[in-house]
């Protein structure tokens, strides 16, 4: 399963992906104001904080209540840190998220989320089929599979999992749930394996199905689009954005956003057919090309293997950006 995030096995250890590249990309200033929208277990947060002096500020956010509990415990007496439980898509609602010198999104799920059987993210453990990062909102993967129609399930598997057997799997799910609801990760993994067989060596046949359901249940791509807009608006001119993606659907959104190929909502209300030079509409410019983890990092932390890091800088539109 991709998008596994930064940490090694076990809740107590964590290895932030491409930490040095992130710090270099953000060009952290000691008295700067930084936003970490995906705290996880705080590997990147701590690395940024280490570079701040008493005038610096770090605003951190996560939609997972366990991650926020960890942050509250770790930074209870740290005056430079503010903590917020929520979706980074709504970062603009948080008054402190403004005049940022830098912002980081390290997308996907964390190792504690993956490794906790209760969360239902992984077919490696038998568990209730939940997959929500924020268990206080939205519907679980089991509820989605129970209530969606066959076409919608197939669309989700195709769009977010790039699963070529999406229709066949959706048909099998609907047939199965007529007998009894699919409630556990193992039931779903076995159903998919039974339906499409083992096609790829070293990859469980349910990998794409699990990725697709996770992306859908958490509205990961919609959150990313809204989050990028909110963060770009909150950066100062010259402020830096660093985003680590773990699959091509995310990376495409990040790349297009930086290039100024804004998704449809940004164009709403404009006359149809109006020719819009794309670059005029990007508040950002790319700093360098996409970066990837080194072989040594992947060897030390296999969960880093599909990471792609992009860095961008806020431009001043008045200055002709």
Ligand X SMILES: C[S@@+](CC[C@H](N)C(=O)[O-])C[C@H]1O[C@@H](n2cnc3c(N)ncnc32)[C@H](O)[C@@H]1O
The residue ranges that bind ligand X (CB under 6 A) are 5-7, 14, 16, 37-38, 40-44, 61-64, 67, 87-89, 106, 108-110, 133, 223
Per-residue CA distances from 195 to 178, 198, 205 (Å): 16, 9, 9
| Cβ at position 28, least distance to ligand X in Å | 15
Closest approach of ligand X to the CB of residue 121, in Å: 10
Q: Which is nearer to ligand X, 165 or 240 (CB)?
A: 240
Closest to ligand X by CB, 13 vs 278, is: 13
Q: Nearer Cβ to ligand X, position 189 or 231?
A: 231
Cα separation, 50 vs 58, whole angstroms: 11
Exposure string of 69-98, with b = 16+ CB inside 10 Å and e = fewer, is ebbeebbeeeebbbbbbbbbbbbbebeebe
What minimum distance in Å lies between the beta carbon of 88 and ligand X?
A: 4
Residue with smaller CB distance to ligand X, 28 or 109:
109
Minimum Å gap between C-beta 282 and ligand X is 22
In 3D, which of 101, 89, 58 has the Cα closest to residue 234?
101
d(CA 57, CA 301): 29
Q: 108 vs 283, which CB is nearer to ligand X? A: 108
Give min distance, CB of 220 to ligand X, in A. Answer: 6
């Amino acid at each position: 399963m991709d998008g596994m995030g930064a940490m090694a096995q076990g809740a107590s250890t964590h290895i932030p992906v491409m930490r040095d590249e992130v710090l270099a990309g953000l060009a952290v200033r000691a008295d700067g104001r930084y936003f970490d929208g995906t705290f996880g277990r705080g590997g990147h947060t701590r690395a940024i904080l280490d570079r701040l002096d008493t005038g610096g500020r770090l605003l951190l956010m996560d939609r997972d209540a366990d991650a926020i509990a960890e942050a509250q415990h770790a930074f209870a007496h740290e005056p430079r840190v503010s903590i917020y439980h929520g979706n980074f898509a709504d970062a603009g609602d948080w008054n402190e998220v403004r005049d940022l010198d830098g912002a980081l999104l390290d997308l996907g799920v964390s190792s504690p989320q993956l490794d906790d059987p209760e969360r239902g993210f992984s077919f490696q453990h038998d568990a209730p089929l939940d997959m929500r990062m924020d268990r206080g909102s939205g519907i679980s993967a089991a509820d989605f599979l129970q209530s969606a129609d066959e076409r919608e399930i197939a669309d989700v598997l195709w769009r977010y999992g790039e699963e070529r057997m999406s229709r066949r799997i959706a048909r099998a799910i609907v047939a199965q749930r007529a007998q009894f609801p699919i409630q556990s990760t193992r039931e779903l993994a076995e159903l998919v394996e039974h339906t499409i067989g083992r096609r790829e060596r070293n990859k469980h046949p349910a990998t794409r199905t699990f990725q697709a359901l996770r992306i859908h249940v958490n509205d990961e791509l919609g959150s990313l689009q809204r989050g990028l807009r909110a963060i770009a608006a909150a950066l100062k001119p010259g402020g830096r954005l660093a985003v680590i993606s773990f699959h091509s659907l995310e990376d495409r959104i990040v790349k297009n956003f930086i290039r100024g190929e804004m998704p449809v909502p940004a164009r709403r209300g404009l006359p149809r057919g109006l020719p819009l030079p794309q670059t005029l509409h990007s508040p950002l410019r790319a700093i360098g090309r996409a970066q990837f983890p080194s072989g040594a990092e992947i060897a030390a932390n296999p969960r880093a293997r599909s990471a792609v890091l992009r860095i961008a800088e806020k431009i001043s539109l008045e200055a002709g950006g």
